Amino acid sequence: MTVHTEDAAMQGELLEPITSEGRDLLHLIETHRPAIAEAAADNDRRGAFPHDVFEGLRKDGVLGATVPSVLGGLGVERMHDVSLALLRVAEADASTALALHMQLSRALTLTYEWRTGPAHARALAERLLRGMGSGEAVVSTGVKDIPRDRRPTTLTPTGDGGWVLSGGKTLVSMAPIATDFAVYAQTRVPGQRPQSGMAVLTRQTPGLTVMDNWDGLGMRASGSVDIVFEDCPIAAEDVVLRGPAGEQDLAMLAGQTVSSITMLGIYTGIAQSAREIAVSTLLRRGATGAAAARTLVAEMDARLFTMRSAVAAALARADRLSYDDTGDPQKRGPAMMTPFQCAKMVVNQLAPAVVFDAQTLIGGASFSASHPLARLHRDVRAGGFMQPYTFVDAVDYLSAQALGPVGNG
């Protein structure tokens, strides 16, 4: 007979934390949610980053939540608990949740590097993690190249073992308060094939410019600005090379899953917030008898259950496999990425539908820019653009699992 433990029940529903460290994090989050919610509308309207909110999170140790306790953090390891914490933040303000995700996910990936990587990578990871655990380091990640540059961000050797970083990254959330940047780049060495790698540089690095150019349709307070590199000097110990650029390595899908899967909690949180606004409004108006209204509420709850269940299942797989080094890494990567992409597609389709149904229930008032549902309407659409993958790439990835790559038949 199967024993259904409380831990399994909570994990399956994405409603409660499943570790003591996760409960500690959620308790801290709850103390800050009123301030986050209070600042959300004004910050969204002005496109202003919530500096005061993040200073409070830093002082309380939230920014070091996913750093191992031996390195000064709270020691939250389960992605389930991180995603749930982001869900709760997103219910108050999705922009704050998206920016916070940058810090929490980077510490998760650095922790894996610290535990399993080569000596050079472990040393770099430990240095950053100790800074994050103490609250001194805030690390933003630059992945996507600035489109207008039409060239990859590059690392060029200086001849003395160091590198020079050139190019630029876009949509670098949390950049307004970042002390350090982890930047994905390609090497440019005459006569050699380009290698992919990660360079780490501080905000004070010569040639680094953090732009003030974020004016998004949604997530307006996330500080998702561009950063530009003009021959930035990078020490050898601050660069980790990953392998030939452009070459697919299925093992790398595991790291990409860890770095991004907890974001699913953000868009689930947006949808839950929309549902709560709609239901509370109906109750206040006394408009609970209409069949259409009751149908929409029932459909919203069914969609939310589907989202929470799909996300929780994908998180459970990721948590189980993230530190499992006993199997084939080339199989582990897809085993983590595929459920993630299935859940992401579910969330990207159902979360906007829940917000739209909430607006339908509220009526014309929700079409005003000052209404909280207007912000949720804009914020929830950011989920479809988040890597990995956007909708088109996700379709290619998931369909290839069954049909093979396009062009093979």
Mean pLDDT of 243-265: 90
Mean pLDDT of 337-347: 97
Query: What is the Cα–Cα distance from 14 to 346, expressed in whole angstroms?
Result: 15
Query: What is the Cα–Cα distance from 178 to 182, expressed in whole angstroms?
Result: 10
Helix 372-379 and helix 20-46, axial crossing angle in degrees, nearest 10? 110
Residue 244: which pLDDT band, with cuts at 50, 70 and 90? confident
Tokens 């199989």, located at residue: 331
DSSP string, 69-84: GGGTS-----HHHHHH
Position 336 pLDDT exceeds 80:
yes
Residue 4: which pLDDT band, with cuts at 50, 70 and 90? very low
Q: Determine the pLDDT at residue 245.
A: 84
Position 9 pLDDT exceeds 50:
no
Query: What is the Cα–Cα distance from 373 to 375, expressed in whole angstroms?
Result: 5
- CA angle 199/78/302 to nearest 5° reads 115
Query: What is the Cα–Cα distance from 72 to 327, expressed in whole angstroms?
Result: 31
User: What is the pTM (predicted TM-score) of this model?
Assistant: 0.94
Position 76 pLDDT exceeds 80:
yes
Mean pLDDT of 101-124: 95
Helix/strand/coil percent split, the chain, to 5: 60, 15, 30
- DSSP label of 238: G
Q: Determine the pLDDT at residue 323.
A: 80
User: Within 10 A of 138 (CB to CB), how many other CB atoms are there?
Assistant: 24
Position 165 pLDDT exceeds 90:
yes
Residue among 188, 104, 114, 202 at smallest CA distance from 151: 188
Helix 264-285 and helix 94-116, axial crossing angle in degrees, nearest 10? 150
Residue 13: which pLDDT band, with cuts at 50, 70 and 90? confident
Q: Determine the pLDDT at residue 151.
A: 76
Position 229 pLDDT exceeds 80:
yes
Contact 373, 358 (CB under 8 A): yes
The pair of three-digit structure tokens given for residue 19, joined into one six-digit string:
């570790």
Residue 243: which pLDDT band, with cuts at 50, 70 and 90? confident
- The helix or strand, by DSSP H or E, that contains position 234, with its residue range, turns out to be strand 225-234
What does the mean pLDDT of the chain come to? Answer: 93
pLDDT tens profile 123-153: 999 999 999 999 999 999 999 999 876 678 9
Mean pLDDT of 343-353: 98
Q: Determine the pLDDT at residue 46.
A: 96
Position 30 pLDDT exceeds 50:
yes
